[in-house]
């Protein structure tokens, strides 16, 4: 393991630095891996970076400063394996739920093999695809369903593609950004609503034989959207909270919950259920991508070297309506193949 390992940290709120560190050697059930690419989750990472959350929330419980792990989706090459590890060998390409850093030591059962010939940059989407899969599974997305996805950011884009992969009848997407909506259209959305939910309400009223969407996925993390989304959901429909707000106390119920008999379902990346573990979702995602039913073309719009991390986070915060995928390249210009 290189003593010159580096990682991106948040030393204090609003501050971003690239620092050196010395990883440990792998235990018998672990692997050590060198990063090739890592993909930013802009909403969650900037929420943490700028401490945009109430003190009595899970954000406050999970994150403090200095925050040493930033990001959760990395493609890496295995460099060394522990004595008990049989499923991986040096040179294997794996997907990890680990942050923006050059090196990682991780339990082998937390790694997923990346299929040969899959674009390694696109493989980084497995993390956010897993998050969106939680909503797709619990909703559930199914052939013939009428779905409205509110918010076309990175997680919303993944939700669009899961809906398209299973053949939902209506895949409506609402967002304020024409740029993000165009990505949603290419990903399989068949109804685009440019505007807020007050505009969306009228636009989607005619679907599902006039009943409206039976499933709404709120991927925004904006607490104000919650109450508005309830007014759009069809009678006896379900509102799935996929966006992770830092201000849950601002999410307010309305009388629509009672009068329309609505179900509210929250999902989180950590909600492994019905046998859908991290690796199983990763492998399912990879099969959809390699099979051509889950398109990711064009979603990664900006690539940065680790040394440019401060600018990358400034861009993520100031221009999120105009940039979907932000990638860090850890190869240093070398071929990613070992």
What are the tens digits of pLDDT across the range 224-271? Answer: 999 888 988 889 999 999 988 999 999 999 999 999 999 999 999 889
CA-CA distance, 207 to 172, in Å (whole number)?
10
Question: What are the backbone angles phi and psi of residue 15, rounded to the nearest 5°?
Answer: -110, 140
Q: Are 158 and 136 in contact (CB under 8 A)?
A: no
Higher-pLDDT residue of 320, 49 = 49
**Predicted confidence (pLDDT) at residue 1 exceeds the cutoff of 50:** no
CA-CA distance, 78 to 164, in Å (whole number)?
33
What are the tens digits of pLDDT across the range 183-209? Answer: 999 999 999 999 877 778 788 888 888
- What's the pLDDT score for residue 168? 97
Higher-pLDDT residue of 236, 1 = 236
**Predicted confidence (pLDDT) at residue 164 exceeds the cutoff of 90:** yes
What are the E-state strand segments in the chain? 6-9, 17-20, 30-39, 74-81, 93-96, 103-107, 111-113, 146-150, 170-175, 191-194, 215-218, 238-241, 263-266, 300-304, 325-329
CA-CA distance, 275 to 206, in Å (whole number)?
37
- What's the pLDDT score for residue 4? 84
Domains of the chain: 6-125+299-329 (3.90.180.10), 128-266 (3.40.50.720)
What are the tens digits of pLDDT across the range 121-162? Answer: 999 999 999 999 999 999 999 999 999 999 999 999 999 999
- What's the pLDDT score for residue 338? 58
**Predicted confidence (pLDDT) at residue 45 exceeds the cutoff of 80:** yes
- What's the pLDDT score for residue 203? 85
- What's the pLDDT score for residue 228? 87
| Residue 327's pLDDT band (cuts 50, 70, 90) | very high
**Predicted confidence (pLDDT) at residue 2 exceeds the cutoff of 60:** no
Mean pLDDT within 40-44? 94
| Residue 100's pLDDT band (cuts 50, 70, 90) | very high
**Token pair 């009678």: residue:** 235
What are the tens digits of pLDDT across the range 266-286? Answer: 999 889 889 999 999 999 999
- What's the pLDDT score for residue 253? 92
Adjacency order of strands within the sheet including 170-175: 191-194, 170-175, 146-150, 215-218, 238-241, 263-266
- What's the pLDDT score for residue 337? 61
Token output for 60: 């406050």
Compute the mean pLDDT over every residue in the chain, rounded to the nearest whole number: 94
To the nearest whole percent, how much of the chain has pLDDT over 90?
84
What are the tens digits of pLDDT across the range 316-326? Answer: 999 989 999 99
């Amino acid at each position: 393991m290189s003593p010159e390992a580096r990682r991106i940290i948040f030393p204090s709120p609003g501050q971003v630095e690239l620092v050196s560190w010395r990883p440990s050697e792998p235990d018998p059930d672990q692997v050590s891996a060198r990063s090739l690419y890592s993909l930013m989750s802009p909403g969650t990472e900037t929420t943490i970076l700028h401490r945009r959350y109430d003190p009595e929330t899970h954000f406050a419980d999970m994150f403090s400063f200095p925050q040493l792990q930033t990001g959760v989706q990395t493609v890496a090459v295995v460099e060394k394996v522990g004595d008990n590890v049989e499923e991986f060998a040096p040179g294997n390409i794996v997907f990890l739920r680990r942050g923006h850093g050059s090196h990682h030591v991780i339990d082998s059962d937390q790694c997923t093999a990346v299929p040969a010939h899959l674009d390694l940059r696109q493989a980084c989407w497995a993390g956010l695809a897993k998050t969106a899969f939680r909503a797709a599974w619990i909703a559930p997305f199914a052939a013939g369903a009428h779905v409205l996805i509110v918010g076309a950011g990175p997680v919303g884009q993944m939700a669009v593609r899961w809906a398209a992969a299973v053949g939902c009848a209506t895949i409506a997407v609402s967002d304020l950004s024409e740029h993000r909506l165009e990505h949603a259209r290419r990903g399989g959305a068949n109804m685009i609503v440019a505007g807020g939910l007050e505009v969306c309400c009228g636009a989607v009223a005619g679907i599902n034989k006039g009943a409206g969407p039976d499933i709404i996925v709120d991927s925004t993390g904006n607490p104000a959207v919650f109450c508005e989304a309830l007014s759009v959901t069809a009678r006896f429909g379900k509102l799935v909270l996929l966006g992770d707000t830092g201000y849950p106390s601002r999410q307010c119920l309305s009388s629509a919950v009672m009068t329309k008999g609505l179900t509210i379902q929250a999902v989180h990346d950590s909600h492994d259920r019905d046998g859908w573990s991290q690796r199983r979702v990763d492998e399912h995602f990879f099969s959809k991508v390699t099979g051509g039913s889950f398109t990711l073309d064009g979603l990664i719009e900006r690539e940065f070297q680790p040394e440019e991390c401060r600018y990358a986070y400034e861009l993520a915060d100031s221009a999120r309506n105009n940039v979907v995928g932000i990638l860090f390249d850890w190869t240093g210009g070398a071929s990613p193949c070992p």
